[in-house]
Structure 1
């Protein structure tokens, strides 16, 4: 890795940390505090309603942004969707954002190629998922990886876009595969907005347990596929 690229990687990481810290301190924490009171929940609802039809549009843009930038955590954004729009409508808006972001990522990667992917994917991670380029069952493997909790789904979207996967099929499987994880997040947000923190905590613990299992499963799948590729 060249010195210039190392500096760019470090600068990107620092920017991501600053952005996440800013969003947590000035957006997420005050937002959660409002949710803890009836007055706060009414205030949030009134604010959303004041935007009218633009509220869902702005939220879809927010969902697209965190996916395209890749380093912004998606969980809090999807939980906010559940808070603002409920479990079902929040899920629908998230899925629209995911589909549109996937279309943008795919076409950007096809236009700019590996240099664009390198901005979001480390060499280590690229090598870990290199088997995607030689996978005969690419669509099935891509769907499974995007569905498993704990996998870097936004980063995977960039990497899968480098393969020969057909665009329409990729848009569909990338959107469908993320339904379970998004549904759990919007459900957490919906229960939180209704003043049911215990139910929210239970959903969070179940999701976290599934996520940890997913991380191990993801590591197992990538290790097995990498070993097969080396043997070939």
Structure 2
């Protein structure tokens, strides 16, 4: 089978998966949001599924990565709350990676024009600047690493660039896994009643989040070859708040 046929099959499969995902989201999103508002409620739901619980949990993480209807931290904390730190990280990582693969190849194969139209909006200009940077990989790593910055849509953006898929997924995993451990650890300690540990980890996470917000512009601007990146990134953050 030649490369063109393989590419066509991949495009068809991704398109079908995308259609199926949209249908399921439209039908079940209210139920999904209702289940995830409480750690105990989410845990009881996953456990009630028995041996399919881990598959359902991973599916929640995939959905969050692709569409982001709920904050990723909620799912990741819940992973630790349900399965403990180690399994919580493993399941969250699998879901994150599968979701990222779907989003990345959706853009690269069939969704480029759709993503490009979204990026023509004024508050998406900073993403265009990032794509044009000679240090795109380093900037991507920093944005993925710093808590609180918009991450999931950048997976789609990466699909528009020449970055090699393997390199991109390495960057994604290296930058996200530390915080998956933090989130799962918080959930695990909450479930075990280790509130002091939970408070300490949460304070460290909060400090990291604040420092990230304070210094993100300097870091990104320093690594970028585009002088307007810092300003456009600030504009986007202002618009997203308002």
Does residue 183 of the first structure (1) align with residue 191 of the second (2)?
no
Give the Cα–Cα distance (whole angstroms) in 1 for the partners of residues 169 and 128 of structure 2. 21
| 1:221 Cα deviation after fit | 3.1
Which residues of 2 match residues 95-110 of structure 1 at below 5 A? 95-110=93-108
Structure 1, gaps ≥5 residues long? 1-14, 36-40
| 1:77 Cα deviation after fit | 0.8
Q: How many residues align?
A: 200
Does residue 68 of the first structure (1) align with residue 49 of the second (2)?
no
Which residues of 2 match residues 1-232 of structure 1 at below 5 A? 23=33, 26-28=34-36, 30-32=38-40, 44=44, 48=46, 51-110=49-108, 111-116=110-115, 123-224=121-222, 225=224, 226-227=226-227
Spell out, residue by residue over 1:96-121, the C-alpha distance to the aligned partner (whole angstroms, 9 max, x if none): 111111110011111111414656x6
Cα RMSD over matched residues? Answer: 3.0
8 A Cα contact 1:128 1:222, kept in partner:
no
8 A Cα contact 1:86 1:186, kept in partner:
yes
1:157/1:125 Cα in 2 relative to 1: closer, same or farther (>3 Å)? farther
| 1:125 Cα deviation after fit | 4.0
Give the Cα–Cα distance (whole angstroms) in 2 for the partners of residues 65 and 172 of structure 1. 21
Spell out, residue by residue over 1:161-214, the C-alpha distance to the aligned partner (whole angstroms, 9 max, x if none): 221111122122212210111111100000011022332222212201101111
Q: Secondary structure at the match of 2:227?
A: helix
Give the Cα–Cα distance (whole angstroms) in 2 for the partners of residues 89 and 122 of structure 1. 40
Spell out, residue by residue over 1:136-170, the C-alpha distance to the aligned partner (whole angstroms, 9 max, x if none): 23222212221122211112212222211111221
TM-score by length of 2: 0.71
8 A Cα contact 2:60 2:75, kept in partner:
yes
1:220/1:199 Cα in 2 relative to 1: closer, same or farther (>3 Å)? same
